[in-house]
Structure 1
Amino acid sequence: MANKILIILEQKQLHFYNNGQLDRSFSVAVGKQNTPTPTGNFSIINKIKNPYNPTLGTRWLQFTSRMHGIHGTNQPHLIGQAVSKGCVRMYNRDVEYIFPQVSIGTTVQIKTTTAQENVEYFIYTVQVNDSLYHLARKFETTIANIIKINNLENKNLIYPGQQLKIPL
């Protein structure tokens, strides 16, 4: 089982899972109200040790093409606050702990809260030529419901093999 990062914005916490088990939880700084940290399911797409910009601290773990990342900080007193431009800031010692255990492709799930939605669903594996419109009609739901339950950032980007929650 692969490693995973779960970030709960409301709690300003990053939970690091190693082989499916919670390894450690860390306090983090998150995006400001006008530059929020994106929510949804992502994966690590770039890693840099000792990045060029000192405000990024000692490690950089990029999870969106829009340059959102998990990184260290040269302002540790801001950890636990909503102060960033959408990135997730960690104490340098904490990001240095997870950095060697995270690889390109590691799952990053970002949620606003831990509150569970009382929506029942089943898992559907996207097939070639599927679209959200097609799936909504096939399973008698709405595109909006599929987008919401899956926290889809880009409703035009689903791909064969992707697993989607389909509301019942």
Structure 2
Amino acid sequence: MRKSAPVLAMMLAGTLGLGGCFSAVPDPKVSELDAKYMAMVPQAEIDPHFARYQIDDPTGEAPGTIVVETKQRQLYYVLPGKKAIRYGVSVGDEAFGWTGTAEVARKAEWPAWNPPAEMKKRWPHVHAVEGGPNSPLGARALYLHQNGKDTLYRIHGTNEPEKIGQAVSSGCIRMRNMDVVELYNRVPVGAKVIVR
């Protein structure tokens, strides 16, 4: 039996413990290239706990700030009016997690991936990948700098959407591709990022 949208919303509200203080955020419009590449990336069921919603802001930070709560596997983009958009993410496992304050120094669409030297040492089999559906950076990347230096950490899409909600990366913050496109469209270069 198919449930109506209001019934599903009420079920999700109960599941998420949000009562009446959340609303779904629609998918952004995407280019033909985005649609083509996204169709080539594996799809995964979305746990409602990690779906994209507009909620009451739990961070207390200024509008325009990105806050990543690593233990909750949630990223918040703070909006005016004490609201935020919440996205489910994957984070670094305990050995590779990073916390701190940074800023978005650069943004890229369907970026190429070149593993850092320390990652190549750990895993000699990894190699650079051109931008596109096979890149582990997915549809978009936000490059994080701290005190003017590249942290080598990114907020980016993924070609493994089934891992959203897990601690599996080498420190980067992974998002579903549609979510990272939505965030990318909102965030300017220079935006503050807090990873807790």
**CA distance 1:17–1:33, shift in 2 (3 Å):** same
* RMSD across aligned positions (CA): 1.4
The 2-side partners of 1:72 and 1:9 are apart by 16
The 2-side partners of 1:45 and 1:72 are apart by 17
TM-score, normalised relative to structure 1: 0.62
Structure 2: state its 5+ residue gaps.
1-61, 114-134
Corresponding position: 1:62 with 2:143: yes
The 2-side partners of 1:89 and 1:10 are apart by 14
Corresponding position: 1:82 with 2:167: yes
Q: Which string of whole-angstrom CA distances, capped at 9 and with x for unpartnered residues, describes residues 78-118 of structure 1?
A: 1100000110000001010010111111010111xxxxxxx
Contact in 2 for aligned 1:2/1:106 (Cα 8 Å): no
Q: Residue 46 of structure 1 corresponds to which residue in structure 2?
A: 106
Q: Residue 158 of structure 1 corresponds to which residue in structure 2?
A: none
Structure 1: state its 5+ residue gaps.
112-168
Aligned residues between the structures: 110
Contact in 2 for aligned 1:57/1:92 (Cα 8 Å): yes
Corresponding position: 1:4 with 2:55: no
Shift of 1:7: 0.6
Contact in 2 for aligned 1:4/1:20 (Cα 8 Å): no
Q: Residue 139 of structure 1 corresponds to which residue in structure 2?
A: none
Q: Which string of whole-angstrom CA distances, capped at 9 and with x for unpartnered residues, describes residues 8-48 of structure 1?
A: 01100001112363331011000011111x21211101100
The 2-side partners of 1:28 and 1:41 are apart by 18
Q: Partner letter of residue 39 of structure 1?
A: T
Shift of 1:66: 2.7
Contact in 2 for aligned 1:44/1:108 (Cα 8 Å): yes
Q: Residue 158 of structure 2 corresponds to which residue in structure 1?
A: 73
Structure 1 segments of 4+ aligned residues over 4 angstroms from their partners: none
The 1-side partners of 2:151 and 2:187 are apart by 20
Of 75, 100, 125, which residue of structure 1 is paired with 2:185?
100
**CA distance 1:68–1:20, shift in 2 (3 Å):** farther
Contact in 2 for aligned 1:30/1:81 (Cα 8 Å): yes
The 2-side partners of 1:21 and 1:100 are apart by 20
Task: Return 18-27 or 92-101, whichever deviates more.
Answer: 18-27
Task: Return 85-94 or 60-69, whichever deviates more.
Answer: 60-69
